[in-house]
A and B are shown apart, each in its own frame.
Chain A
Amino acid sequence: MSTTRQPTINPAPAHTEFHPRWYRPHVSVYWWLGQWQYLRFILRELSSVFVAVFVVITLLQLRALRNGPDAYTRFQHWLQTPGAIALNLISFFFVVFHTITWFNLTPRAMVIRLRGKRLPDFLVAAPNYAMWLVVSAAVGWLILK
């Protein structure tokens, strides 16, 4: 992340007695609505909200599991309400968006060369996707077996 450095001011300005006016272009609060790239950036950042939503629901699930079978049945019924389904559906799309954008950062973060040639981006990102598949299968197997 970049910190905007302000120009250093000569403590004893020699040629002017006026304080210079800062040049600060005004940026609208809605700057991210103008272009798809900017909007995509903000949507990617907002995916973190749905990550947090998932954690909150998981904590509620753990509490229900701790409180016994009846509490857990009630929790499962709540998960079946249209509101909960809608929330989880939206969350799912955002979380997968996070996964894809996160994995695709790898080729930006590191350049891998093989016999002097740069490995194409999709090959650098590929191990992430393979790992995702293996880990998901393992978790699914543990829960479903």
Chain B
Amino acid sequence: MERQSNEAFFWMLFSAGGVVAALLIPVHLFLFGLAFPLRWLQPPAYAHLTALLKMPLVRIYLFVLCSLPLFHWAHRFRYTLYDGLQVKHLNEVIFTLCYGGAVVGTGLAGYLLWNIA
């Protein structure tokens, strides 16, 4: 039960990611996933979006928007697999895949946002 000591840390990431996802993802998903492709609203011009991305605050915001929800996913999905599919014996593999995925996604977000302007 050594991992017990890390549990609070992962739970904090889960919780912070949950707040970010709850507050911010619906509006982003609605605009870019539905309203713009279906032409309910006029999509913003490429130049406008790249101008936004030049602002450091926007890039930090997008980094948080990508990173924390991934840790939220990692935590929730891990326990869904444990409880839903009862695959506790794959503990280590699932842990590595979930948090590994979140770390890789965070790295990609950092790389993209660092190089974008």
Give, as a whole number of angstroms, the nearest-CB distance from B62 to chain A: 7
Which of A46, A80, A88, A131 has most chain B Cβ within 10 Å? A88
Check A112 for interface membership: any CB of B closer than 8 A.
Answer: no
In the complex the two chains form, is A55's CB within 8 Å of B105's CB? Answer: yes
Give the contacting residue for A59; candidates B79, B80, B105; CB below 8 A. B105
Check B22 for interface membership: any CB of A closer than 8 A.
Answer: yes
In the complex the two chains form, is B80's CB within 8 Å of A55's CB? Answer: no
In the complex the two chains form, is B27's CB within 8 Å of A135's CB? Answer: yes
Total contacting residues, chain B, CB less than 8 A = 51
In the complex the two chains form, is A59's CB within 8 Å of B27's CB? Answer: no
Check A65 for interface membership: any CB of B closer than 8 A.
Answer: yes
Total contacting residues, chain A, CB less than 8 A = 51
Complex-state Cα separation, A80 to B39, whole angstroms: 9
Residues of chain B within 8 A of A119, CB atoms compared: none
Residues of chain A within 8 A of B30, CB atoms compared: 92
Give, as a whole number of angstroms, the nearest-CB distance from A23 to chain B: 17
In the complex the two chains form, is B84's CB within 8 Å of A32's CB? Answer: yes
Complex-state Cα separation, A95 to B70, whole angstroms: 13
Complex-state Cα separation, A32 to B115, whole angstroms: 45
Residues of chain B within 8 A of A128, CB atoms compared: 22
In the complex the two chains form, is B38's CB within 8 Å of A135's CB? Answer: no
Q: A56-B105, A58-B66, A59-B105 are in contact. Are A66 and B116 (CB under 8 A)?
A: yes
Q: A29-B86, A65-B49, A76-B37 are in contact. Are A51 and B44 (CB under 8 A)?
A: no
In the complex the two chains form, is B32's CB within 8 Å of A51's CB? Answer: no
Check B19 for interface membership: any CB of A closer than 8 A.
Answer: yes
Interface string of B35-67 (1 = CB under 8 A from A): 011100101101001101100000000100110
Interface string of A129-145 (1 = CB under 8 A from B): 00110011001101110
Complex-state Cα separation, A143 to B51, whole angstroms: 11
Give, as a whole number of angstroms, the nearest-CB distance from B68 to chain A: 10
Q: A45-B77, A140-B31 given; name 14 further pairs at CB < 8 Å.
A: A47-B76, A51-B17, A51-B25, A51-B72, A55-B69, A55-B105, A85-B37, A88-B29, A92-B30, A92-B34, A98-B18, A102-B22, A131-B23, A132-B22
